[in-house]
Amino acid sequence: MNEPTACEFVPTQAIAARPGGSRVHRCGPGFRWEGIPVQEYKEAAAHWCGVTRIPLLGESGEKTAFHLRYFEIAPGGFSSFERHHHEHAVVVLRGRGEVQLGETVHELAAGDLVYVAPDEPHQFRNSAAGEPLGFLCIVDAQRDRPVLIQAAST
Amino acid sequence: MNEPTACEFVPTQAIAARPGGSRVHRCGPGFRWEGIPVQEYKEAAAHWCGVTRIPLLGESGEKTAFHLRYFEIAPGGFSSFERHHHEHAVVVLRGRGEVQLGETVHELAAGDLVYVAPDEPHQFRNSAAGEPLGFLCIVDAQRDRPVLIQAAST
């Protein structure tokens, strides 16, 4: 499966290198950070919808063994139902929604911590009205490519 | 310098292995997570004060190339003024405070992102009244030991 999934979609803009030194990126309204652009993408695929990705750290010249990203899923949106060998660490920052881990669905709210184990099928969904579901997602810098399991049903 | 610094202090309890599978740890009031104990420590050293550490992920049997920790600094508290070659990614979850990066002090509030570059002297401080300064801190699993620069002044 070579089709890009929600978390690994091919950006239409390369991620620009940021200044190499220590720095603070202030968080503005609606979880947008000064000096860090939202990653643009052309359109949703059939298997994911309403996903915004902001690469916070690790992909802009830093040497970390991890990448820190912020994802937002719009109301009614969902990420790809996918699996991969690398693990996910997720911390919810805003909104409500749910995560499917294997065959189990867990409700999510701000502050909740999610661990996605190797090869676990998973999908994040925003079933709430109004507010985006926003979460940090940390992954190893060196990682395998996600495999799409099936098209999500809404 | 072999004295443990605030971020690497020696816990009095080993970190217990958690179930290997995918899971959700719900965030309760005051940023405490179900199933994850607060790390106990005996007393503050002269060079740090009021620091609580919660190991969220990566130190309990997971295979990630990173460790995700949550730190809280009580009002008036501060972390060690230290440096190390490994980088820090920090996201503030609650409260207010400041971070010293080299010779520059930056105000911090919820949502702010901090990148601490290799070998940058740094210290987190809670100068606000009332609420703890709480933040996620992500580091490489394989990392060098922090070096204490000087005792903090209050």
Looking at residue B6, the DSSP 8-state letter turns out to be G
Rg of chain A over all Cα atoms, to the nearest angstrom: 15
**Reported ipTM exceeds the 0.85 cut:** yes
Residues of chain B contacting residue A109, judged by C-beta atoms under 8 Å apart = 26-27
**Mean pLDDT, rounded, for B14-42:** 86
CA dihedral A72, A77, A83, A87 (to 10 degrees): 20
pLDDT of residue A44: 63
pLDDT of residue A18: 81
**Residue B2 reports pLDDT greater than 90:** no
| Domains of chain B listed by start with CATH number | 44-150 (2.60.120.10)
Q: What percent of chain B has pLDDT over 90?
A: 71
Q: Token pair 């903090």 is at which residue? A: B152
How confident is the model over B32-77, as pLDDT tens digits?
999 999 985 545 667 778 899 999 999 999 999 999 999 999 999 9
SS3 A70: strand
Active site (annotated) includes residue A7: no
CA distance B154 to chain A (A): 23
A129 touching B, CB under 8 A? no
pLDDT band at A20, cuts 50/70/90?
A: confident
How confident is the model over B85-99, as pLDDT tens digits?
999 999 999 999 999
A23 touching B, CB under 8 A? yes
CB pair distance less than 8 Å for B66 and A64: yes
Its pTM surpasses 0.95: no
Which is more confidently placed, A43 or A131? A131
Residues of chain B contacting residue A113, judged by C-beta atoms under 8 Å apart = 24-25, 27, 33, 36, 56-57
Nearest to B115 among A62, A65, A99 (CB): A62
Residues of chain B contacting residue A23, judged by C-beta atoms under 8 Å apart = 101, 114-115
- Low-confidence winner among A2-6, A99-103, B126-130, B145-149 (lowest mean pLDDT): A2-6
pLDDT band at A152, cuts 50/70/90?
A: very low
